[in-house]
Structure 1
Amino acid sequence: MKKPSVNAYVALIVVSFFWGTTYLASHIGVEYMHGLLLAGLRQSMAGVLLTGFFFIKGQKIPPRAMLSKLFIIGVIMLCGSNGLMTWAMKYVPSGLGAIIAATVPIWITIFSYFIVSKSKITAQVIIGMLIGFIGVGGIFYDYLVDLMKPEFRFGILLLIMGSMFWAFGSVLTAKWALGINPLYGAGFQMFFSGVVMLIISFCMGETLQWSHLQEPRLVGSILYLIFVGSLLSYSAYIYALNSLPPSQVAIYAYVNPIVAVLLGFIILQEKLNMVVAISCLVTLVGVYLVNNAYKKNKQYGQLAE
């Protein structure tokens, strides 16, 4: 790999900060519409814009077999992850959602063990997993009253499932090695997943209403998620991943939760005390240990929101 440029580090900064802000934007958006509908609008529009850009440049439509794989991965990673996590923002603080999402490397390691034959579970991985889950458990100490609420428990379940779906999709992506321009492929994944989520939303009785477009906060949330969350941040992520060592790119996974927690505290008045702060740091230490051991085995996968 050639010497990284300044642009590569700028891209990493963009990913580290702006992906952390998407939890806040999603939390605002679900105040006005269902999370699946919000995620569906975000991903379908971003997919149209991204694939449209490549079509204008003369890119051909991928073969049917590759489109099928892009569809499967898109549904797993974006419907199963982004869709469920956006839905969860209706019931769970945005900062807590980001911290739970930070456990993705742990789930990647677990799925790699079963899917990738060369994957190994080392002592460092086990210790890191235990520390990571202890950190998340510590955060719940401050939410004991909320755990009595069915809606809160449902939101936590959605977040855990979303993290698992992203991890499974990441391992599957690495295993299949599609051999397509990552951004072009991502455009199809966004479009396919967005359409699926819109269909599911319609079947649930959730549709886009004219009143939605009269809510400035909702419109701002949707536009922010499309252009900043999906197009800008994901493009920066792909650029950084192809320009910097994975160990450096992984930094964003530790910065995102901190950004989300601080923004949730400042803008939404979410909880931020010593228990939450220490538990967040403990979780990130565990994730670091797992991620570090994972990279040593050269089974590093995608980490994201």
Structure 2
Amino acid sequence: MKNQKFLPYAALVIVSIFWGTTYLASHIGVEYMHGMLLAGTRQTIAGVILLAVFLIKGYKIPGRAMLSKLFIIGVIMLCGSNGLMTWAMKFVPSGLGAIVAATVPIWITIFSYFMISKSKISAKVIIGMIIGFVGVVGIFYDYLQDILKPEFQFGLVLVFLGCLFWAFGSVLTAKWALKINAMYSAAYQMFFSGIVMVIISYLMGESYATSSFTMELWTSLLYLVFIGSLLSFSAYVYALNTLPPSQVSIYAYVNPVVAIILGYIILDEHLNWIVGTSCLVTLAGVYLVNSAYSKQKKLQHESAKLAIESEH
């Protein structure tokens, strides 16, 4: 009984801390391999391992329609988000990437409005959005000297696109509500997206070079596969299925803090009062959006439930 209460929170701690460390691991890895190829290799290996586990357990391969949707979601969320975000780590600090990525709940709210329910956006959500974006602008103030650099600009574009793809994929996943085991679904998404990213990398002229496989790259890749994908994602799915979504969302506020601290200690990245304050402002805005959106969804669910009961 104690384990049943403890394990979900242990899983949440794993997600909160270890997902924040993947920005550092990616930042190290892209020094030796193109970000898209690194992400593709990571997801392919993790997908193959996870698929093997489920197939050995006797799970059947889904039908063509289900596989098509898993392919689409995987490409949008992992190629479009993880691939671009990993690539961006070559051009922007890992802490900055993590803070910008923390704005994903804001983008999810916007996509949800247009794709699922065009219900009225509350004042709390709008205020939260404004506060969140003000925080991001504050962070960029500390990087004014870098903003004029083309590579830095390109990295920022990749980060923002990564946020949009993850948000869009998350809302699409909720809209489709696929009837399949969440972890089994993730295995196909990782495998499909990994293969696509490797193909894209080769089309871009990137390929595996024996000389690039240094101890640093091996460490980064293995960490991303086993800690970033298999352990942390499994923990995320488990937490999501055993705890209220509002509690699970805590990881989004811890990840950037972990990434900033590690970036400062190991990569000598910026960490001053401007970065710290702006990070807190951004997370405060995201919290307002997230809490307001969760409350709105709960009210919609209760209203729908009452409507169904009244019909009977």
Q: Smaller-chain TM-score range?
A: over 0.9
- Structure-2 residue corresponding to 1:72: 72
Q: Which residue of 2 aligns with 1:271?
A: 270
SS of corresponding position for 1:297: helix
Q: Aligned partners of 1:107, 1:138: CA distance in 2, in Å?
A: 19
Correspondence for 1:232: 231
Deviation digits for residues 92-116 of structure 1 (CA, Å, limit 9, x no counterpart) = 0000000000000000011011101
Match of 1:142 in 2: 142
Cα distance between partner residues in 2 of 1:120 and 1:14: 35
| Gap regions ≥5 residues in structure 1 | 300-305
Which residue type is aligned with residue 101 of structure 2? A
TM-superposed deviation, 1:61 = 0.2
Alignment of 1:121-270 (within 5 A): 121-213=121-213, 215-270=214-269
Root-mean-square deviation (CA), in Å?
1.3
Alignment of 1:106-125 (within 5 A): 106-125=106-125
Aligned length: 297
Residues of 2 paired with 1:168 and 1:119: CA distance?
A: 18
Cα distance in structure 2, aligned partners of 1:112 and 1:205: 37
Higher helix share: 2
Report the Cα offset of residue 179 of structure 1: 1.0
Q: Which moved more, 1:118-127 or 1:73-82?
A: 118-127
Q: Which moved more, 1:111-120 or 1:70-79?
A: 111-120
Amino acid at match of 2:86: T
Q: For 1:44 and 1:141, how far apart are their aligned partners in 2?
A: 38
Q: What is the distance in 2 between the residues matched to 1:4 and 1:284?
A: 30
Q: How big is the shift at 1:210?
A: 1.1
Does structure 2 retain, via aligned residues, the 8 Å contact 1:92–1:156? Answer: yes
CA distance in 2 between counterparts of 1:12 and 1:135 reads 25
Q: Is the CA contact (8 Å cut-off) linking 1:112 and 1:119 kept in structure 2?
A: no
Are the counterparts in 2 of residues 83 and 197 from structure 1 also a CA contact under 8 Å? Answer: yes
Name stretches of at least 5 consecutive residues in structure 2 with no aligned partner. 299-312
Q: How does 1:51-70 map to 2 (within 5 A)?
A: 51-70=51-70
Q: Give the TM-score, by structure 1 length.
A: 0.96
Letter in 2 for 1:267: I
Residue 117 of structure 1 deviates from its aligned partner by 2.2
Q: C-alpha displacement at 1:297, in angstroms?
A: 1.9
Q: CA deviation at 1:212?
A: 2.4
Q: Compute the displacement of 1:4 (Å).
A: 5.8
Report the Cα offset of residue 120 of structure 1.
3.3
1:88, CA displacement in angstroms?
0.2
Task: After the TM superposition, list the runs of 4 or more consecutive aligned residues in structure 1 that deviate by more than 4 angstroms.
Answer: none
CA displacement, residues 104-140 of structure 1 (integer Å, 9 cap, x when unaligned): 0000011011101254311001000000000000001
What residue in structure 2 maps to residue 31 of structure 1? Answer: 31
Structure 2 distance, partners of 1:107, 1:82, is 16
The answer as to whether partners of 1:84 and 1:159 remain within 8 angstroms in 2 is yes
Residue 209 of structure 1 deviates from its aligned partner by: 1.2
Judging changes above 3 Å, is the alpha-carbon distance between structure 1 residues 292 and 227 closer, same or farther for their aligned structure 2 residues?
same
Greater shift after overlay, 117-126 or 39-48? 117-126
Report what 2:305 is aligned to.
none
Query: Deviations along 1:26-59, whole A, 9 cap, x unmatched?
Result: 0000001110000000001100001110001000
Letter in 2 for 1:272: L
Describe the SS at the equivalent of 1:5. Answer: helix
User: Which residue type is aligned with residue 125 of structure 1?
Assistant: V
Q: Could you say which residue in structure 2 is the equivalent of 1:303?
A: none
Amino acid at match of 2:237: I
**Match of 1:23, as an amino acid?**
Y
Matched-pair identity in %: 72
Distance in 2 between residues matched to 1:209 and 1:79, nearest whole Å? 22
For residues 193-239 of structure 1, give each alpha carbon's deviation from its aligned partner in whole angstroms, at most 9, with x where no partner exists: 000000000011111111122x0000100000000000000000000
Q: Aligned partners of 1:51 and 1:4: how far apart in 2?
A: 26
TM-score, normalised relative to structure 2: 0.94
SS of the aligned residue for 2:255 comes to helix
Q: Is the 8 A contact 1:212 1:219 kept in 2?
A: no
